[in-house]
Amino acid sequence: MAVLTMAKAINTGLAVAMREDPKVLVMGEDVGRLGGVFRVTDGLQAEFGEERVIDTPLAESGIIGTAVGLAMRGYAPVCEIQFDGFIFPAFDQITTQVARLHLRSDGALCMRVVIRVPSGGGIGAVEHHSESPEAYFAHTPGLRIVTPSNPVDAFTMIRQAVAHPDPVLFLEPKRRYWEKAEVDVTAALPPSIDLFRARVVRRGSDATLLCWGPMVRTCLEAAQADTRDLEVVDARSLAPLDLATIVESVARTGRLVVVHEAPVTGGLGAEIAAAVTEACFYQLEAPVLRVGGFSVPYPPARLEDIYLPDLDRVLEAVDRAMAY
Amino acid sequence: MAVDGGPELVQLLTPEGVLVEHPDFALALDDDEWRTRYEHLVMVRRLDAEATALQRHGELGLWAPCQGQEAAQVGAALAMRPTERIFPTYREHGMAYVRGVDPVTLLGLFRGTTLGGWDPAEHGFNLYTIVIGDQTLHAVGYAMGAQRDGAAEGVLVCFGDGASSQGDVAEAFVYAAVNDAPVVFFCQNNQWAISEPLERQTRIPLFKRAAGYGFPGVRVDGNDVLAVQAVVTAALERARAGRGPTLVEAFTYRMGAHTTSDDPTRYRTTAEGEAWRLKDPIERVRAHIVRSGIADAAWLGEVEQRAEALGEHMRSACRAMPDPAPASMFEHVYADAHPVIDRERQWLVTYLAGFTDAPTAGAGAGVG
C-alpha cells in the first residue's frame, strides 16, 4: 500500500497502463517536460520518451483530431485537455468524430481514446477553469463518461478507461487532486464492467444523496453532520448511468437528492430525476430534488463558495425532501 | 473569374493534349498506363453521371458530383502505394474507384442505408467525412502513427478551397509541420465552396499558405492527370523519406453543382463554365492517346461499353439495395455492451412487433 494523492494515483495508473501496453500514448499541452499543470503526467516523458508522451501544439481540436488518426492506426492515446473550459474547441472532433467513427465504420474502427479533463471548481481560478461540462457529452451517443471521487478509484478507473475499447471522457475533480488515501498499486485490474457501476459509499435509510466527483466528499460530510440517516451513492459513471444501483437505493430510502456542480438547468440531475421517477414512482415519498450550480456562468472566484453546492445547501434540500 | 492557374502552375499535358516539360517534375507513362488513365477518367465520369441520374430518379437523397475533378483524383490516387492511406472528403469518388471501392458501395451513404459503407483498412481508403476539414487532423494523427511504427509510408488527405478556411485545417498544418508528419495535404481548389468563390476564402493563392507553416506548397494543374501524379509522387517521396508534409493545390473546377440540391446558375456564369470546359481533364488525354496512336476508335468504343456496363450495374444494384433493419441503428454505437442501447433496442423491437404490418426489426435485411 502507498499513500497517494489523487493526482499521483492517476499518474501511477497511467504509468502502469503505459508499461503494460506499448500502444498507449499520452498527449496534450505541457504534459511532457512540465508533467502537466497539475503534474498528473509528471515523470512519464522521462520514463517513456517523447514518442509516447507528446507535448502537443496549443490547439485542442488538434489534440483530439490527431488522436483519432492515431487510434485508427492502432494506438491508444490518452489526451489531456488542460482545463474543462478549454474542451470546447475540441467539441466538434469529440462529438462528430470520436463518438461516431466506430458506428460509421460498422465496427471496423476502434476509437480507443481517453480524454482526461481536470474539471469543476473550488480552486479560486479565473474564468473557464472551473466548468463541469459533463451534460454536453452525456447527451452524445457513442461516448462514455466516468469520474473518480477518491485516489483509490482514480488509480483503478484510469487504467480501466485506457483498457476500454470505447472512447472515455475521464473527468478529474481538480479540487480533490491533493486529497490522499492508501492505494494498493499492485492490485489487479477489475473487469471493465465495474467502471460503469455506481457505489453506495454510505448506507442510510431516510434519503439518498446521489453525487459524483468533487461532490462525493461534500455529501459524505453532510451525511455525517446530520441527524437523519442519509445514504450516499457515488455515481462514478455518468454515461452510462448505473440506474440499477441508483434505483435500488431510492426504492429503499424513498427520497433522492441529486447533487452536482454543473448548472441545474439541463443538467444530469434532470435526466436522473426523470429516470428515477419512472422507475420508483410508487416508492418515492417526495419529488426528486436537485442541488447544483445556479443557471449562470460560473461566477468570479470570490463568489464560488456561494455558487457551489456545500454541506448546508445539500441538507437544505434534504429538509425539503423530508417535509413531503 | 479564376480560370488561369498562373505562372507557377505545374502542367505536363496541355488542354490540347500536348506533352510539355517542366523543370522540376516529370513522369513518363507507357501505352498501357496511358490507356489505364483514360479508362479510369471515363469510368469515374460515368459513375458520377449515373449517381446524379439516380438522385434525379429518387433513388438517392443526395449526390455530390465530382465532374471536372476526375484527373486530380485519379492522378493523386495512382501516385500512392496501395498500402498507403487516403483520407477523403465526401467527393472523392474518383479516388474510391481507383482504390477498388465498388461504386455501388459509395451510393449507400447518399441513399441513406449507411453512415459509412466500407472498411477503411480493406481499401486503404478512409470513410467519407462530411464535417468540413475534420479529416485533415485524422490524417496527421495517422501519419504520426506511421512515424511511430517506423514505416516509410505516406498519407494523403483531401480537402477543398472552402475547407482551407477551417481551423482544423490550420491546426493540421501546424501538427504536421512540427512533427514532420509524412502527410500530403491535397487541396482540390475547384474554385467554389457552394456559392462562395475562392476570393471569399483567401487573399493569396492557397499553395502559398504552406510557406507560413514551414513546408513546401505546389500548385498543379488539377485537370492534368499526368502532372497531378508527378507532383503527388514527389510529395509522397518526400514524406516517406522523413522530410515532412507538402501542400499540393490541385487547381481545378467543379463543373457540376456542389450537390444535387444546389443550383449553380444562381451564382456563376455560363461563360466561366465554357472557359473551363476547354480545359476538360478527359478530352486532353483522349487527344494525346489518339494523336500518338496509343488508342484507336475501336478501343475507345470498348471503354464506352465498359462505362455503359458500369452504369447499368449501378442502376440495378442501387435499386435493389435494401433498407437497413430498424434495430441495426443500435449496432456499433459502442464497441462494448451498453445498458441504454440494450434497453432501447429491446423496446423498439417489441414496439414494432405490435404492428400487424411490422417491418423486420432484428438483424438481417429489412424491407426493400
d(CA B110, CA B88): 15
pLDDT tens digits, B164-218: 999 999 999 999 999 999 999 999 999 999 999 999 999 999 999 999 999 999 9
pLDDT at B1: 57
pLDDT tens digits, B118-131: 999 999 999 999 99
Cβ burial of A21 (10 Å; 0-12, 13-18, 19+) is middle
Q: Do A102 and B335 touch (CB under 8 A)?
A: yes
Contacts of residue A223, defined as CB under 8 A and 6 or more positions apart, other chains included, come to A202, A204, A209, A230, A231, A232
Q: Do A73 and B149 touch (CB under 8 A)?
A: yes
Task: Tell me how far CA of residue A192 lies from CA of A59, A113, A149, A152, B150, in angstroms.
Answer: 31, 15, 18, 16, 32
Backbone angles phi, psi at A307, to 5 degrees: -70, -45
Number of domains, chain A = 2
Residues A67 and A83 in one domain: yes
pLDDT tens digits, B213-237: 999 999 999 999 999 999 999 999 9
pLDDT at B200: 96
The confidence band for B58, taking pLDDT boundaries of 50, 70 and 90, is: very high
The set of cell numbers assigned to A136 is 454536453
Which residue has cell 517542366?
A: B22
Catalytic residue selected from B85, B254, B284, B345: B254
How many CA atoms lie less than 13 Å away from B84 in the CB half-sphere?
24
Residue B134 is nearest to which of A97, A165, A166, comparing CB atoms?
A: A97
Q: Do A61 and B168 touch (CB under 8 A)?
A: yes
DSSP assignment string, A246-278 = HHHHHHHHS-EEEEEEEESTTSHHHHHHHHHHH
Please indicate if any CB of chain B lies within 8 Å of the CB of A191. no
* Residue B368 pLDDT > 50: no
Q: Do A61 and B143 touch (CB under 8 A)?
A: no
Residues A111 and A82 in one domain: yes
Q: How close A202 gets to chain B, by Cα (Å)?
A: 25
Best mutation target, B138, B330, B341, B347, to test chain A (most A CBs within 10 A): B138
Please indicate if any CB of chain A lies within 8 Å of the CB of B148. yes
Residues A221 and A296 in one domain: yes
| pTM passes above 0.95 | yes
Count chain A–chain B contacts defined by CB atoms under 8 A: 127
For residue B153, the chain A residues in CB contact (below 8 A) are none
Q: Do A61 and B149 touch (CB under 8 A)?
A: no
Of A141, A160, A195, the residue that ends a domain is A195
Residues A134 and A78 in one domain: yes
Q: Is B254 a catalytic residue?
A: yes
Q: Do A75 and B148 touch (CB under 8 A)?
A: yes
Residues 306-335 of B with CB under 8 A from A: 331-335
Please indicate if any CB of chain A lies within 8 Å of the CB of B343. no
Please indicate if any CB of chain B lies within 8 Å of the CB of A245. no
pLDDT at B102: 96
Residue of chain B whose alpha carbon sits nearest to that of A95? B131
Residues A292 and A315 in one domain: yes
pLDDT tens digits, B302-326: 999 999 999 999 999 999 999 999 9
CB B176 within 8 A of CB B215: yes
pLDDT at B366: 43
What value does the mean pLDDT take over residues B21-38?
Answer: 98
What's the CATH code of the domain at A83? Answer: 3.40.50.970
d(CA B144, CA B68): 33
CB A251 within 8 A of CB A186: no
* Closest to A41 in 3D by CA, of A51, A23, A56, A28: A28
Of A179, A195, A211, the residue that ends a domain is A195
pLDDT at B359: 63
What's the CATH code of the domain at A213? Answer: 3.40.50.920
CB A289 within 8 A of CB A243: no
pLDDT at B361: 61
Residues A158 and A210 in one domain: no
Residues A225 and A175 in one domain: no
d(CA A171, CA A138): 12
Residues A23 and A36 in one domain: yes
CB A109 within 8 A of CB A151: no
Q: Which domain holds residue A9?
A: 2-195
What is the set of active-site residues of A?
Answer: 129
Q: Do A93 and B336 touch (CB under 8 A)?
A: no
Please indicate if any CB of chain B lies within 8 Å of the CB of A61. yes
H/E stretch holding A3 reads strand A2-5
Q: Do A59 and B171 touch (CB under 8 A)?
A: yes
Residues A29 and A164 in one domain: yes
The set of cell numbers assigned to B241 is 523519406
Amino acid at B137: L
The set of cell numbers assigned to A187 is 492490485
Q: Is domain B31-320 given the CATH code 3.40.50.720 in the classification?
A: no
Taking the CA atoms of A12, A18, A24 and A28 in sequence, report the sign of the dihedral they define.
Answer: positive
Q: Do B126 and A72 touch (CB under 8 A)?
A: yes
Residues A190 and A203 in one domain: no
Residues A27 and A121 in one domain: yes
Of A169, A195, A221, the residue that ends a domain is A195
Residue of chain A whose alpha carbon sits nearest to that of B147? A51
pLDDT tens digits, B275-303: 999 999 999 999 999 999 999 999 999 99
Please indicate if any CB of chain B lies within 8 Å of the CB of A166. yes
* Residue B367 pLDDT > 70: no
Amino acid at A245: T
For residue B145, the chain A residues in CB contact (below 8 A) are 69-70, 72-75
d(CA B299, CA B305): 10
Domain ranges, ordered by start, for chain B: 31-320, 322-368
The whole-chain average pLDDT of chain A stands at: 98
CB B167 within 8 A of CB A88: no
H/E stretch holding B314 reads helix B297-320
C-alpha A214 chain-centroid distance: 9
CB B86 within 8 A of CB B142: no
* Closest to B208 in 3D by CA, of B199, B200, B217: B217
Catalytic residue selected from B267, B291, B332, B338: B267
Please indicate if any CB of chain A lies within 8 Å of the CB of B78. no
Please indicate if any CB of chain B lies within 8 Å of the CB of A142. yes
Residue of chain B whose alpha carbon sits nearest to that of A68? B138
Q: Do A108 and B120 touch (CB under 8 A)?
A: yes
Residues A118 and A15 in one domain: yes
For residue A101, the chain B residues in CB contact (below 8 A) are 127
Task: Tell me how far CA of residue A131 lies from CA of A221, A262, B203, in angstroms.
Answer: 23, 7, 38
Please indicate if any CB of chain B lies within 8 Å of the CB of A108. yes
